[in-house]
Amino acid sequence: MSEAIRTELRGSGVTVTAVCPGPVKTEFTEVAGVGGVEDRTPGAVWMSAEDIARHAVDGAANDRRVVVPGAINRANRPSPGSTAPGQSRFP
């Protein structure tokens, strides 16, 4: 959806950047009733909300189409062009 909006707004002065973070350290897991998942997940995959926000703002400021914060998340994402045109690149 963000890619379609980005295309529609091209040249208008409005930009769209999709941010695709992996696991983020917030209170979400506790609120969702799955507390403790952080203890069962390798610490290297988790990022802070502040780090995600920094990557998002930097990506938007540089007119990036997609921002995938974290080396592990980037390594696990689909490669560009691996889907047919019109299909989502990110599930």
For residue range 5-15, list pLDDT tens digits in order: 999 999 999 99
25 vs 84, more confident: 25
pLDDT band at 4 (very low <50, low <70, confident <90, very high): very high
Please report the pLDDT score of residue 72 as a whole number.
Answer: 76
Q: What is the percent of the chain where pLDDT is above 70?
A: 84
Distance CA 74, CA 45 (A): 11
Q: What is the percent of the chain where pLDDT is above 90?
A: 45
CB 73 within 8 A of CB 24: no
Please report the pLDDT score of residue 91 as a whole number.
Answer: 41
Please report the pLDDT score of residue 75 as a whole number.
Answer: 77
CB contact set of 51 (below 8 Å; sequence gap of 6+) = 69
Look at residue 33 and tell me whether its pLDDT is greater than 70: yes
CA distance to 8, 40, 66, 80, 82, per residue, from 85 (Å): 16, 37, 16, 11, 9
Q: How many CB atoms lie within 10 A of CB 46?
A: 17
Pinpoint the alpha helices (H) of 1-91.
2-9, 28-31, 49-61, 71-76
